[in-house]
Amino acid sequence: MSFESIYKDFDYEIPKKQRTRSMKFVEKLFEEVDILLHLSNNIFYEATAGFPTFQKPAHRACGFFDPSSLHRSTHYSCLASFTGLPSISINIGYEEATGLPIGMQLISKWWREDLLLSVAHAIENLFPITKVPPDFQDIIGKK
């Protein structure tokens, strides 16, 4: 079965048109703001023996990940990926219950990577990571 037999022209044209609409939308948005800030991940998990509760033990062993959870956890990263906007995710701390990292994603308009990196650096200085997560394993000896 070839790739051509699965996907037709309209399967490509509709997302292409949506991408153009999305790019026009963010162009207008960046007339008002310089940087978009939001959480990198919109899912917070309860801890169960150190693992997120959505996973079954067999899934942890095999590496299976629930597709709906994957969609929800990558929800915010789609805008940058889809429109080609520069983005960066920085660690701003760890969730107390699970020790999982909390990330903040920053998105700037096209060709403003300088601004993006400057703001990311400033935010990292505001939220210095002073402790390591509970399950941290120092594999290179620079704790």
The predicted-structure confidence for 25-58, as pLDDT tens digits, reads as follows 999 999 999 999 988 876 655 444 444 455 555 5
Of 7-16, 62-71, 78-87, which gets the smallest average pLDDT?
A: 62-71
pTM of the model: 0.68
The whole-angstrom separation of Cα 120 and Cα 107 is 10
Which amino acid type is present at position 48?
T
In sign, the C-alpha dihedral spanning 9, 13, 16, 22 is negative
Bridge partners, 21 (sequence order): none
pLDDT at 18 over 80: yes
The whole-angstrom separation of Cα 12 and Cα 7 is 8
Residue spans per domain, the chain: 9-49+61-126
Instruction: List Cβ neighbours of 61 (8 Å cut-off, separation of 6 or more).
Output: none
